[in-house]
Amino acid sequence: MQGSNCDYGGSKGLKMGTTIIAIEFDGGVVLGSDSRVSAGETVVNRVMNKLSPLHDKIYCALSGSAADAQTIAEIVNYQLDVHSIEVDEEPLVCSAATLVKNISYKYKEELSAHLIVGGWDKKDGGQVFATLNGLITRQPFAVGGSGSFYIYGFVDAEYRPRMTRQESQEFVINSLSLAMSRDGSSGGVAYLVTIDSEGVEEKCVLGNQLPRFYDPDIMEPSKAAKV
């Protein structure tokens, strides 16, 4: 996420300094994010939790401009509270995502934040919604942020429908670890939130506990990159 509000757009457009991912499994959802907040080249917060609650069993993952994303999450939190009092029951994930979409779309010129909404409700179970730039779409899994470009291939190859809770958590941790090792704007620790009918489980995986992949410089120094 960007500490300042200005747009570090590269040649490919808007750059969102983070990696966020959400995946639905049979009975719930898992959301994950990295923890780095950068302002230009400086890391201003290396342990920021980008998974923000919108309601008891609905969370959102923030990316893009830190201020914009946090403000959207707070506003939607308030609106969802009012809505759930009015209808006198737990709000649907679809409602939360629609509220996020309404704000993102109405102010799309001024804001630069992308929120992925994930949660569990009685009607449809675990659901993940992507709300990039004002669209709303339900997907089996969603990735976002600048680090997500590096793992598109990995998630395309590794995703299987109807994974278990344990497999989904591993999928999220592996994807975050790969993205954090390639993207300069993602790093720190990995935060995980698992939501199902029982409740919400929050977990933090420290940097040295993240899975490691093949890296010739560490594993076989004699075969490391040389000139």
Beta carbon of residue 8, minimum distance to other proteins (angstroms, whole number):
17
Q: Please tell me the distance from the alpha carbon of residue 64 to that of residue 133, in angstroms, as a whole number.
A: 11
Measured from the CB atom, is 120 or 150 closer to other proteins? 150
What are the Cα distances from residue 225, in Å, to 181, 182, 215, 218, 222? 17, 16, 10, 11, 9
Beta carbon of residue 186, minimum distance to other proteins (angstroms, whole number):
12
Q: Please tell me the distance from the alpha carbon of residue 223 to that of residue 155, in angstroms, as a whole number.
A: 28
98 is catalytic: no
**Which of the following is catalytic: 18, 19, 131, 194?**
18
Beta carbon of residue 205, minimum distance to other proteins (angstroms, whole number):
17
Binding site for other proteins (CB under 8 A): 149-161, 174-175, 178-179, 181-182, 213-216, 220, 223, 225-227
What's the CA angle centered on 141, arms 162 and 102, to 5 degrees?
135
Reading the block at residue 170, the tokens are: 């591993």
43 in helix, strand or coil? strand
Measured from the CB atom, is 183 or 196 closer to other proteins? 183
Measured from the CB atom, is 23 or 80 closer to other proteins? 23
59 in helix, strand or coil? strand
Q: Which residues are catalytic?
A: 18
